[in-house]
Amino acid sequence: MPVPRVRRWKPLALTAAAVLVGITVPATATATPSPTTAPAPAAVGAYDDTYYKDALGKTGPELKSALHTIVSEQTKLSYAQVWDALKTTDEDPANSSNVILLYSGTSRSKSSSGGDQGDWNREHVWAKSHGDFGTTTGPGTDVHHLRPEDVTVNSIRGNKDFDNGGSAVAGAPGNLTDGDSFEPRDAVKGDVARMILYMAVRYDGEGGFPDLEPNDRVDNGSAPAIGRLSVLKKWSDEDPPDAFEKNRNQVIFDKFQHNRNPFIDHPEWVEEVW
């Protein structure tokens, strides 16, 4: 049985991200609130009056359907174009010559992309064999779930489902794996969950693409499914979007696919849909 995890909020990252979009967030637990300041109302997302207007007020299947329609309007990249996209979407904020690797958490030169040991390559967070879509333009090239990762660590993750537990992953501190699952480090658990759930909303069987759905299993093989949903929901709740994830979503929207991951903008929609 997995060891219960303590909820890990990211107040500094959230505050930094909020400043960029003009949203007020609560003070950290150690700050002394102003006695003259009333509690802030729930913030309205920057895109609620435009991009998400047809999804507001909906729940369950209706919300999922509305979000599918919204995010399906996108510019599709080729698999070759993904290399350059990731060098921008995952750029190290402290070193513009590097990218941040998803599982490893390390900063590596953008020029070290490739397939050799020590290189980074394109990790499909929704493993491409789960639905057998390969590197086809569409789900195989959607940068909302493609991330830079060390070649060896990427191979260790393989096409495993996501779950808690396992043995330490060499070269990627904080990650665990066993025969049928992979647990990412705490700082990106929510990122992984929201990428998986985006894919389930975006690809629903239309356009010749598989109908991708999360389930509560591991060892899904080539089925267009990935798990475990209960664990992914918990990860999303415990690890809310931070500044890096929010910036990545914005860069994809502004410069590449021109669509958004709604679960980054509205993480509460995870529970509304699932």
> What is the tens place of the pLDDT at every residue in 14-66?
333 333 334 333 333 333 333 333 333 334 578 999 999 999 999 999 999 99
Residues forming beta bridges with residue 225, ordered by sequence position:
213
Collapsing DSSP to helix, strand or coil, 176 comes out as strand
Residue 208 has pLDDT above 60, yes or no: yes
Contact 202, 142 (CB under 8 A): yes
Once rounded to an integer, what is the mean pLDDT over residues 247-271?
98
What is the maximum span of the chain, computed from C-alpha positions, in angstroms? 59
- Provide the pLDDT for residue 34: 34
Residues forming beta bridges with residue 98, ordered by sequence position:
109
Collapsing DSSP to helix, strand or coil, 211 comes out as strand
- Provide the pLDDT for residue 46: 84
The C-alpha atoms of residue 171 and residue 206 are separated, in whole angstroms, by 39
The C-alpha atoms of residue 60 and residue 23 are separated, in whole angstroms, by 27
Cβ atoms < 10 Å from Cβ of 19? 12
Residues in the chain, how many? 274
Contact 249, 265 (CB under 8 A): yes
- Provide the pLDDT for residue 17: 37
Burial of 258 per CB tally in 10 Å (0-12, 13-18, 19+)? exposed
Residues forming beta bridges with residue 198, ordered by sequence position:
none
Residue 232 has pLDDT above 90, yes or no: yes
Give the rounded distance of the alpha carbon of 225 from its chain centre. Answer: 17
Q: What are the backbone angles phi and psi of residue 150, rounded to the nearest 5°?
A: -55, 140
- Provide the pLDDT for residue 93: 98
